[in-house]
Amino acid sequence: MKADVLVIGAGAVGTAITRELTKYRLNVICVDKREDVGGDCSKSNSAIIHTGYDAKPGTLESELVVSANPQYDKLTKDLDIPFKRIGAILPAITDEQFAQLPEIKEKALKNRVYDVEYLSKEKILEIEPNINPDVKGGLFIPRESIIDAFIYVVAMAENAVANGAKFMLNTEVTGIRKEGDRVVGAETTNGYIEADYIVNAAGLFCDDIANMVGKYDYTVVPRKGQFYILDKNTGCKVNHIVLPIPTKVTKGKLMTPTIHGNMLVGPTAEDLEDKFDKSTNTEGLNSIRDDVQKLIPGVMLQDTITQFSGLRANRNPEGLNIDVYDDVKHYVNLSGVRSTGLTNSVSIGSYVANLLKDIGLKMEFKDNFIEKRKGIVCMRELSREEQHKKIIENPLYGNIVCRCESVTEGEIVDAIHSPIPATSVDAIKRRLRAGMGRCQGGFCGPKVIEILARELKVDPKDIRKNNSKSYMVCGKVK
């Protein structure tokens, strides 16, 4: 196997880099050890497209996030990704917080986020009636937005495939081969891949990859964030991203609608050593309750339909870094891509492409780059007439498998045979929301296993929730 560029990691960042490189006459391979694109951090976060108003001014992170945000209008339209500019409100509940507002606005200006506005108490309670009535006033950040983070990565990957990139999943990099002072390829669990250039976008595991090329200048410090997802029917909702005024210690816990109309509440921020620890715990979940009640006193966490943890790939020493080295040529190392990573990814794509050119990669523009991608039809969003037409065309669209989110067998079959095939129960769930509703897969889970096994022509015991050891059933009954 041979590539001009090998990208390690198919999270938001790796996928965005891969897609960006397909704009050039290059043979690009993206590998990931997981069974699906979407990585670790990219799929369990708040799914907010940030403006960068609160970044540290003058940093690479600030530059990337500020330039990324405006790109999402066109990008999400081109690639058929659910996206909404709902805006964020920062309510100041105490006098002390109120006094902090000018400083926050000033920082936003330094980050060249010029559209932050003051809001009066009355205005806040008018547009967001569930906010604590003690609110003194606040800020409005209009371009803070919400996205379907799963579809974002899938769409970027599918578009990259349409433009000639190759994704190799279930493929873990076990070593990187060097010749002299440059890299020449990677050993993987799926064989050796010869590569002229290698980009390390391995997120949580980027330090392990860096070690393989002899770089030990940082370590990943996973920072856990726990969240609640609330039922779409919960009695207390918000219309905007409601953010707390940050303290010196933490950015704090927020409440926001998700792109699909649930409420998302969280996250915690806990530094860990174990990169695999994505457990939730009572202390963390209780701290979310205590903190968010200060902002939204009526929040109904009893309406939760799930709780989850995600890990941010923070590093020590801190900071977003994109490095090239004199003693390890033909290699780009990304590290410290954290909370802003989902937003940044699109800017990182072009930044890394440019960096590769700087370090000698020959890059010729393609004139036939396909800009658009169309997602799987979403039956629940069609009108009754359109639904009727689709079912007459293909009866599988008339068979609802997931009751809570109204997902049909036709959509599931489409996802299994899509450019980045969904081959696991979670991959189906992330693309279509089957199993993401209030019954959490109680009804559709067994049917999804059956459909996956049928379409992939395997036994149900070979169907996985996600990774290779996560079997769903263990063989036939007696």
The residues assigned a catalytic role are 50
Q: Which of residues 206-225 bind other proteins (CB under 8 A)?
A: none
The span from the CA of 340 to the CA of 346, in Å, is 11
Nearer to other proteins, 118 or 276 (CB): 276
Q: Can you tell me which residue has the tokens 């996030």?
A: 65
> Nearest distance from residue 310's CB to other proteins, in Å?
11
The span from the CA of 436 to the CA of 310, in Å, is 16
The span from the CA of 255 to the CA of 292, in Å, is 7
Residue 222: CB partners within 8 Å, gap ≥ 6?
204, 271, 272, 273, 274, 275, 277, 311, 312, 313, 314
Would you tell me the crossing angle of helices 425-432 and 409-416 to the nearest 10 degrees?
110
Q: Which residue intervals of 93-180 are DSSP H helices?
A: 95-110, 121-127, 149-162
The span from the CA of 301 to the CA of 74, in Å, is 35
> Nearest distance from residue 381's CB to other proteins, in Å?
13
Kindly state the tokens that stand for 76.
């999400």
Nearer to other proteins, 296 or 444 (CB): 444
Nearer to other proteins, 39 or 52 (CB): 39
Dihedrals φ, ψ of 390, to 5°?
Answer: -60, -40
Torsion, Cα of 9, 11, 14, 19 (10° steps): 130
> Nearest distance from residue 232's CB to other proteins, in Å?
10
Q: Is 466 in the site for other proteins (CB under 8 A)?
A: yes
The span from the CA of 203 to the CA of 197, in Å, is 18
Binding pattern to other proteins, positions 422-461, x when CB under 8 A?
A: ---x------------xxxxxx-xx--xx---------xx
Binding pattern to other proteins, positions 168-187, x when CB under 8 A?
A: --------------------
> Nearest distance from residue 422's CB to other proteins, in Å?
16
> Nearest distance from residue 295's CB to other proteins, in Å?
21
Exactly one of 399, 421, 455, 456 binds other proteins (CB under 8 A); that residue is 399
Exactly one of 8, 199, 305, 434 binds other proteins (CB under 8 A); that residue is 305
Q: Would you say how long the chain is, in residues?
A: 478
Kindly state the tokens that stand for 136.
């003194």
Dihedrals φ, ψ of 125, to 5°?
Answer: -70, -25
Q: What is the DSSP letter of 16?
A: H
> Nearest distance from residue 463's CB to other proteins, in Å?
10
- Site stretch for other proteins (CB under 8 A), options 203-211, 364-372, 387-395, 415-423: 387-395
Q: Which of residues 256-295 bind other proteins (CB under 8 A)?
A: 276, 278-282, 285
Beta bridge partners of 400: 408
Nearer to other proteins, 249 or 474 (CB): 474
In 3D space, the residue among 212, 222, 216 whose CA is nearest the CA of residue 172 turns out to be: 212
Nearer to other proteins, 42 or 333 (CB): 42
> Nearest distance from residue 276's CB to other proteins, in Å?
5
Cis peptide leading into 317, omega within 30 of 0? yes
Nearer to other proteins, 252 or 398 (CB): 398
Exactly one of 77, 362, 366, 388 binds other proteins (CB under 8 A); that residue is 388
> Nearest distance from residue 433's CB to other proteins, in Å?
15
The span from the CA of 421 to the CA of 456, in Å, is 10
Binding pattern to other proteins, positions 229-248, x when CB under 8 A?
A: ----x---------------
Nearer to other proteins, 223 or 464 (CB): 464
Exactly one of 397, 427, 428, 448 binds other proteins (CB under 8 A); that residue is 397
- Site stretch for other proteins (CB under 8 A), options 14-22, 176-184, 337-345, 400-408: 400-408
Binding pattern to other proteins, positions 118-157, x when CB under 8 A?
A: ----------------------------------------
Exactly one of 260, 398, 418, 456 binds other proteins (CB under 8 A); that residue is 398
Chain centroid to Cα 67, Å, comes to 18
Q: How many residues in the shown chain lie near other proteins by CB under 8 A?
A: 56
State the amino acid at position 86 in one-letter form: I
The span from the CA of 369 to the CA of 330, in Å, is 25
Exactly one of 349, 387, 405, 430 binds other proteins (CB under 8 A); that residue is 387
> Nearest distance from residue 304's CB to other proteins, in Å?
6
The span from the CA of 48 to the CA of 65, in Å, is 12
Exactly one of 273, 326, 367, 385 binds other proteins (CB under 8 A); that residue is 385
Beta bridge partners of 198: 6, 331
Q: Is 384 in the site for other proteins (CB under 8 A)?
A: yes
The span from the CA of 242 to the CA of 131, in Å, is 9
| Secondary structure of residue 1 in the 3-state scheme | coil
Q: In what order do the strands lie in the sheet with 145-147?
A: 48-49, 145-147, 83-84
In the complex, the residues that contact other proteins under the rule CB under 8 A are 233, 276, 278-282, 285, 304-308, 384-385, 387-389, 391-392, 395-400, 403, 406, 425, 438-443, 445-446, 449-450, 460-461, 464-478
